[in-house]
Structure 1
Amino acid sequence: MNLGVRMQLCLMMFLEFFIWGGWFVTLGTFLGNNVNATDSEIALAFSTQSWGAIIAPFVIGLIADRFFNAEKILGLLHLIGAGLLFLMYKTTSFEVFYPYVLGYMILYMPTLALVNSVSFNQMSNPAKEFSLIRVFGTMGWIMAGVLISYFFKWDSTGGIMQGMLKNTFLMTSIASIFLGVFSFTLPKTPPKAKSNGDKPSLREILGLDALGLFKDRNFLIFFISSILICIPLAFYYQNANPFLVEVGMESPTGKMTLGQLSEILFLLLLPVFFTRFGFKNTIIVAMLAWFVRYLLFAFGDVGEREFMLLIGIALHGICYDFFFVSGQIYTDGKAGPKYKSSAQGLITLATYGVGMLIGFWIAGVISNKYLLSDGMHIWDSIWLYPAGFALVVSILFALLFKSEKIDYQS
């Protein structure tokens, strides 16, 4: 890969995750304070991510793998998404906000698979090269949090009271326009399934060939485990920022970027760990990290035990990288060259789709259960639920998944 292409992919990843991190982290706090949304409504808003992820494999299988270049679809989706982000910036009621965020997430979630496809298409060995590109996505997420907390101070007590968090949607709308235009300059990523010149069958058009991966017992176990571990993950996305705001942490969004800083470290360590200890052990470590993180949240506070909250945030590098990035690399190696996009869409379906859809609903129910009359929550009880679930899933995966070696060369 030449330097020019590498720089393009790095900027693409930076903007992709800057846009997501720039509004999604503070969504729960925004909804609770700006539009007086209930816990159930907040859960409903977060679940739009899951509906987008469920639809994503069909978008990818129907379009990206079959008919049009991935980079062109990526650009179009981000340009339309920029308009929806601007409409979210203008809204003041949940009833108006919800259709916009639903439409946006249906457009955005397929782009997670598309940026991976564009990247993998330029690599000869994704297991070694992908982490160095993906780390710029983490930097984009960090930059968004730093701007929100330390530059604009939108999540300060005064900023929240003044409703300043709505500006996150304006900021990311501008970034989405830039990425949409920039995407059309990315390396060409043609639909691989048409490369042999054959007319695609209905099965191919719907992306159903990628479902053949389920014949592999290990991949099926990994897919099911991906769904299950994302149930506790939903608790973090939905509750972490409101939790830190509620317990009185200063600049919570900025401090949450400590998780992305650790993500950079563990992205760089991932190829070494992945090669030395294998895929199975990497995934088990990630799952156990979720268990430890939620225990730290349950028993930490903003006084003498604030270090526990900060360690819990910092564990994000292991929680996210060792599971999601390893899973993307594993899936790429399993799928083969023809159905890489469809296979990545399947993992998006499992993780951000089905698993987190269930998780957001459960998190909303449990949050309501431990909601006090003054609007505060009993957070130590809430966090014990995802901790226990993550422990159970890690044990089941360790028992059922058989260690294996596969060829990760594209």
Structure 2
Amino acid sequence: MGSTIKIKLSVMMFLEFFIWGAWFVTMGTYLANSLKASGTQIGTAYATQSLGAIIAPFIIGLIADKYFSAQRILGILHLIGAALMWYATTLGNFDSFYPVILLYMIIYMPTLALVNSVSFKQMTNPNKEFPPIRFFGTLGWIIAGTIIGKLAWEHNNTLILTFKMAAVASLVLGLLSFTLPDTPPVKKGQKTTFGELIGLESIGLLKNRSYLIFFLASIAICVPLAFYYNFTNPFLNEAGMKEAAFKQSWGQWSELIFMAAMPLFFVRLGVKKMLAIGMLTWVVRYVFFAYGNGDANYWMLIAGIVVHGVCYDFFFVTGQLYTDNLAGDRFKSAAQGFITLATYGVGMLIGSYISGPLVDAHKTATGHDWHAIWLIPAEIAAVVLIAFLLFFRDKPVAVTESTAVL
């Protein structure tokens, strides 16, 4: 790639995740304070991410892969997204806000695959060239949280500005997309089955008992994960943490650090220990939140944020590598799509619908009983960890084409 293309792709990736981080982290606080939403409504709003993840393969498989260049549909989706984000700032109650954010997430989630498609098309060695460009995506998320925290939008109850900031960034990325290198449809004229769209070609992996245990654990562990994504920001603000969104971005810095160290850990610990450490850290994180506060145990709040790198990298990245090794060359893409659909689609969806009512059930006269709330995902994660340790066996047996076909 030439330097101009590298810069464009880096800016594209930066804006892609800046847009998401600009409003997603603090949406729960905005809904609670500005729209007077309940915990159940907040959980329902965050469930739109999972619904978008479930629908995204159909948009990519039926439209982007067959009829339009990836950069053009990326531009169109972000321009529509910019309009929806701005429109959301004019809505004064949850009932009118929800359908707009649902439509937005259905439009936004497919762009995560599109930015990868545009990037990979320009690369001769993706393993070497993609990580530096993907780094700018995480940086975008970090910068968004830093802006929100440093400008005190949470403290000043002006989080409506996060949606306006996302709208402007989406407009910029929408226009930039039309200047990106051409990425023509890869399956033009080809028929695509339902199974191919959601990665069912790789379902034969589940015949491997250990992979089945990992697959089920991945879905189950995403239930407590939803508690973190949906309610950490409202919790931290209620606990009195200043610049909460900024401090939450420290979790992304942690993610980058542990990502760099992943090859060393992977070789020395192996799949089972890596996955187990990831799940154990989730238990520890929620225990920190349960006992943390804005006074003597403030350090627990910070620790619960900073361990995000271990929580995410040790489980999800290790799981992606484990899936990649088992799937074989023919089914790698299908297997990754299938596990993503199961985790961010099914698992997170269940977690979002469970977390909201549980938060409402622990509402108090002055806020919420966060101690009791956070012990719930801690217990769920602990049960998943124990079941995983009892039944998972690390047997790296590759799946052949004959066993991987549905």
How high is the TM-score relative to the length of structure 2? 0.88
C-alpha deviation, 1:183, in angstroms: 2.4
C-alpha deviation, 1:98, in angstroms: 0.8
Q: Choose from 182, 185, 190 the match for 1:200.
A: 190
Give me the whole-angstrom Cα distance separating, in 1, the residues matched to 2:122 and 2:220.
32
C-alpha deviation, 1:275, in angstroms: 4.7
Is this contact kept in 2: 1:235–1:363, CA < 8 A?
Answer: yes
- Matched to 2:169, the amino acid is A
Q: Indicate the SS of the match to 1:207.
A: helix
Give me the whole-angstrom Cα distance separating, in 2, the residues matched to 1:385 and 1:96.
31
Q: Choose from 377, 380, 386 the match for 1:386.
A: 377
Q: Choose from 306, 315, 318 the match for 1:314.
A: 306
Give me the whole-angstrom Cα distance separating, in 2, the residues matched to 1:324 and 1:104.
25
C-alpha distance 186-68 of structure 1, shift in aligned 2 (>3 A): same
**Deviations along 1:173-210, whole A, 9 cap, x unmatched?**
0101111222233344444445xxxx53352x763583
Q: Choose from 284, 295, 300 the match for 1:303.
A: 295
**Deviations along 1:75-124, whole A, 9 cap, x unmatched?**
22111111110011111111111111010011111222333333444556
C-alpha distance 391-262 of structure 1, shift in aligned 2 (>3 A): same
1:171 to 2:165 alignment: yes
Give me the whole-angstrom Cα distance separating, in 2, the residues matched to 1:66 and 1:339.
20
1:182 to 2:160 alignment: no
Structure 1: runs of 5+ lacking an equivalent: none
Is this contact kept in 2: 1:127–1:329, CA < 8 A?
Answer: no
Give me the whole-angstrom Cα distance separating, in 1, the residues matched to 2:125 and 2:220.
29
Map 1:25-104; keep pairs closer than 5 Å: 25-104=25-104
- Matched to 1:133, the amino acid is I
**Deviations along 1:364-389, whole A, 9 cap, x unmatched?**
121122111x1511111111111121
Map 1:10-409; keep pairs closer than 5 Å: 10-122=10-122, 130-150=130-150, 152-156=151-155, 159-160=156-157, 164-194=158-188, 199-203=189-193, 207-208=196-197, 210-216=199-205, 217=208, 219-328=211-320, 343-372=335-364, 374-398=365-389, 399-404=391-396
Give me the whole-angstrom Cα distance separating, in 2, the residues matched to 1:351 and 1:53.
10
Structure 2: runs of 5+ lacking an equivalent: 400-406
Is this contact kept in 2: 1:280–1:403, CA < 8 A?
Answer: no
Is this contact kept in 1: 2:78–2:173, CA < 8 A?
Answer: yes
Give me the whole-angstrom Cα distance separating, in 1, the residues matched to 2:170 and 2:326.
32
Q: Indicate the SS of the match to 1:229.
A: helix
C-alpha distance 341-189 of structure 1, shift in aligned 2 (>3 A): farther
**Deviations along 1:147-192, whole A, 9 cap, x unmatched?**
1111x22111xx11xxx11010000001011112222333444444
- Matched to 1:225, the amino acid is A
Is this contact kept in 2: 1:62–1:207, CA < 8 A?
Answer: no
Give me the whole-angstrom Cα distance separating, in 2, the residues matched to 1:126 and 1:280.
27
**Deviations along 1:34-79, whole A, 9 cap, x unmatched?**
0111111111111111111111122222234444333332222111
Give me the whole-angstrom Cα distance separating, in 1, the residues matched to 2:128 and 2:265.
11
Give me the whole-angstrom Cα distance separating, in 2, the residues matched to 1:265 and 1:298.
26
Farther off after superposition, 349-358 or 124-133: 124-133
Give me the whole-angstrom Cα distance separating, in 1, the residues matched to 2:361 and 2:309.
30
Is this contact kept in 2: 1:54–1:348, CA < 8 A?
Answer: no
Farther off after superposition, 132-141 or 32-41: 132-141
Is this contact kept in 1: 2:198–2:337, CA < 8 A?
Answer: no
Q: Indicate the SS of the match to 2:315.
A: helix
Give me the whole-angstrom Cα distance separating, in 2, the residues matched to 1:183 and 1:215.
38
Is this contact kept in 1: 2:78–2:171, CA < 8 A?
Answer: yes
- Matched to 1:154, the amino acid is W
Give me the whole-angstrom Cα distance separating, in 2, the residues matched to 1:339 and 1:14.
30
Q: Indicate the SS of the match to 2:159.
A: helix
Counterpart in 1 of 2:402? none
C-alpha deviation, 1:244, in angstroms: 0.6
Q: Indicate the SS of the match to 1:90.
A: coil
Q: Indicate the SS of the match to 1:245.
A: helix
Farther off after superposition, 248-257 or 112-121: 112-121
How high is the TM-score relative to the length of structure 1? 0.87
C-alpha distance 176-228 of structure 1, shift in aligned 2 (>3 A): same
- Matched to 1:383, the amino acid is W
Give me the whole-angstrom Cα distance separating, in 2, the residues matched to 1:282 and 1:7.
35
Farther off after superposition, 306-315 or 50-59: 50-59
Identical aligned residues as a percent: 52
